Chain A
Amino acid sequence: MLCIVYIIAIGSAMILGLILKLPLLPERPMRQSWTTSVIFPTAVLALGFTAMVSKLGYLTSANSDYLIALAIGVLTAIFSKFILERILPRPLQEESPDESQEVSP
Chain B
Amino acid sequence: MPLDETPGCAAAAATRYPSAPMLGLETVWFQVAGSVCNLACAHCFISCSPSNRTHAMLDLAAVEAHLRDAEGLGVREYYFTGGEPFLNPEILAILDAALRYGPATVLTNGTLITAKRARELRALSDASSYSLDIRLSLDGFDAAGNDAIRGAGTFARILEAIGNLSSAGLNPVITVTEACTEAGDSRGRGRLLERLRALGLERPRLKVMPLLLLGAETDRTRGYAAGETLAGVALEEADAAALQCASGRMVTAEGVFVCPILIDSPEARMGATLAETLRPFPLRHRACHTCHAQGLNCRT
Q: Do A and B bind?
A: no
Interface residues of chain A, those whose CB is within 8 Å of chain B, are: none
